[in-house]
Amino acid sequence: MRPYVIINAAMTVDGKIDTSRRQGAAISSEEDKRRALELRAGVDAVMVGGNTLNNENPKLTVKLPELAKQRRSAGLPENPAKVGFTTRLTLDPDGDFMTTGPARRILFTTPATPPQTVDVFRQAGAEIFVHHPPRVDLGQALGTLYELGIRKAILEGGATIISEFTRLGLADELQVYVAPRLFGGETAPTLVGGDGWPASGAIPLKLEAVQVLDPAGGLLIRYRFSK
């Protein structure tokens, strides 16, 4: 068993989820930021890949007091659990992922993370699962999350982890905000990274809804992964 997984991301019309500088460029409009926070408020966990985790140290909280209040009134923790998948954990333990909350923090890694680092994060309150090398087994990790009570989760990127979830058939839904802008750049990450597939292996999606989300012309497109 695994949680229901929604991939949520923001991209430019040319499919870039960041510029080639890879410093977490802002893409979402104010309307999309609000939508993404509401989406977070409705799930049990928010998940990110290793580069996004280690390099950007994201907060991954619901941020808005009214959303935190809504969750509390529904008997839920103020924030969904924060989850990271990283071969080697190089995250700053004093940064936002660990300290902004309150939130349950769950990390999946491999023995490439030194045991002393694992201890530091455990002592700081993170739940850490060490998988066999070379990489975190994402199917097994989702099984663990299910056992921990997580039934619905969002994957917020980046490109490599989205590619792996897609390739392994671990995602149920895709919500993508398309900003009416172009970043260009061959090395800028696109929505789905990794090595890609031959056209014959393209992953089919079923359109659920298209919505113009903001006055500038940003679109929200929702797809379901066809089984």
Ligand X SMILES: NC(=O)c1ccc[n+]([C@@H]2O[C@H](COP(=O)([O-])OP(=O)(O)OC[C@H]3O[C@@H](n4cnc5c(N)ncnc54)[C@H](OP(=O)(O)O)[C@@H]3O)[C@@H](O)[C@H]2O)c1
For residue 218, state whether it binds ligand X (rule: CB under 6 A).
no
In this structure, what are the phi and psi dihedrals at residue 213, rounded to the nearest 5 degrees?
A: -95, -25
Structural element, H or E, at residue 115: helix 115-123
> Which among 75-83, 134-142, 195-203, 212-220 is the span making contact with ligand X, rule CB under 6 A?
134-142
| Per-residue contact flags (x/-) with ligand X for residues 45 to 74, judged by CB under 6 A | ---xxxxx----------------------
For residue 83, state whether it binds ligand X (rule: CB under 6 A): no
Selected binder of ligand X within 24, 42, 101, 111 (CB under 6 A): 24
Would you count residue 220 as binding ligand X (CB under 6 A)?
A: no
Strands (E) in the chain, as ranges, are 4-12, 45-49, 81-85, 105-109, 127-130, 152-155, 173-179, 205-212, 219-225
- Omega before 158 cis (within 30°)? yes
Query: Can residue 17 be called a binding residue for ligand X (CB under 6 A)?
Result: yes
Strand ranges across the sheet with 173-179: 127-130, 105-109, 81-85, 45-49, 152-155, 4-12, 173-179, 219-225, 205-212
Query: Shortest Cβ distance from residue 95 to ligand X (Å)?
Result: 15
Q: How many residues bind ligand X (CB under 6 A)?
A: 28
Of 9 and 81, CB closest to ligand X: 9
Say if CB 45 and CB 150 are below 8 A apart. Answer: yes
Rule CB under 6 A: is residue 22 a binding residue for ligand X? yes
The binding site for ligand X (CB under 6 A) comprises 9-10, 17-18, 22, 24, 27, 48-52, 85-88, 135-136, 138, 156-161, 164, 189, 193
